[in-house]
Amino acid sequence: MAFKGKAPGSAAGEMSKRTEALRPPILLSPKEVQEARRMRRSGMDPHAIAETLGKPMDEVEKALVQMRMPRPESTRGTLNITLAAHNVVMKERQGNEPLWQTFDRIVDELLQLRAQAEGKPAPAAPSRSKKRLSDGTGMLPLLE
């Protein structure tokens, strides 16, 4: 069985339509929401934001509660794995290659090593779909 990696889609990271539908409506325009969030990031108090915008406090709070904020102590890396596993992937990264590509390469190498350990030749992908490593030294036959 060959591992087939695929780049994240164009909508990766966007909010689910279901999540969006479940959220309460905000009676602020998108520009006002953006401005309220900008003010909050700069350190303004929600009451001061409501006064500045001239909007009801509950509507400003709805806009601010839905803000994405960085977590100071994340328990997981960007691959949604433990920090220890993330460190391994980051050490294996070659130059500025995307993390998904690094991860695909690591999994392909693992599959090749397992095939060798079992005494089976690693399945070769068709030559047109082989990918060359970023340093040009080898091929990734299990990835298409």
3-state secondary structure 74-104: CCECCCCCEHHHHHHHHHHCCCCCCHHHHHH
DSSP 7: P
pTM for this entry: 0.42
Average pLDDT, the chain: 79
Backbone region of residue 68 per phi and psi (left: phi > 0; alpha: psi in -120 to 50; beta: other values): beta
Q: Tokens at residue 123, please?
A: 């399945």
Q: What is the pLDDT of residues 48-104, one digit of tens each?
A: 999 999 999 999 999 998 777 666 665 555 667 788 888 898 899 999 888 888 888
